[in-house]
Structure 1
Amino acid sequence: MKLVLNGDAFENVNRLIDIYDNMDYKVYEWNKDYVELEMAKNAEFFDDIDGKSLDVEQRLAVVVDEDNNLVIAGAGSGKTLTISGKVKYLVNKKKVNPDEILLLSFTRKAADEMQERISTTPPRESS
């Protein structure tokens, strides 16, 4: 059995093939646009995390949504501030249940500092 496509069907199949072939790029572009929009939409929020403003890289780390996130940087670079911002963003903006968030640290001092910063997070905003 032969499949015969008229002009419109042929065009539609070619468009579908083009979309499929470029899916990775389209997802990349959509994600990039989403992150830029989310950073702009929440600029005021990011300007005051624990009384400090997150820089562009920190904002990116907060907005990018992965199942697991790892923050590695040098001493004094703002890791704890970034993590605090991420938790506050998830709880206040994305309405994530705080009981669903797990934070791990390699040192007791960093864990205590995170606990202190996170515990000052105000209750979730109502919708």
Structure 2
Amino acid sequence: MTTAITNGIKVSIETHFQEDYSDVKESHFVFTYRVLIENMSDYTVQLISRKWHVCNAFGFREKIEGDGVVGKQPILEPGEKHQYVSGCNLQTEIGKMSGSYIMERLLDGSNIEVEIPEFVLSTPYRLN
């Protein structure tokens, strides 16, 4: 699990290769990642938007931006957690992702950029 803490917001990522949905012969590799966001700050925050950077082994880079996560803009009180699962398709058996969330501190409306730590997407046999 990969973790980063920014301004009291902890983001942890766990990845899984989805062999049943992948087709190695067609260079189609499917990965899922579970994200756990924990509000360790003293303020209530709302996740407003996300920005992802995806890179495969060929160096192909893609930037993905949008509102919320999986259709939600969760509000997290101090001590609360939000978890979701999403996925990524790559043309290579290894790649990486990183990014950031924009969170709004509801007390004063200020925005906080929260780091999504870089993590590796890899087939299990590639790590040997």
- TM over 0.5: same fold? no
Q: Which has the higher helix share?
A: 1
* TM-score normalised to structure 1 length: 0.25
Q: Relative CO higher for 1 or 2, CA cutoff 8 Å, sep ≥ 6?
A: 2
* TM-score normalised to structure 2 length: 0.25
* Structure (1 or 2) with the larger CA radius of gyration: 1
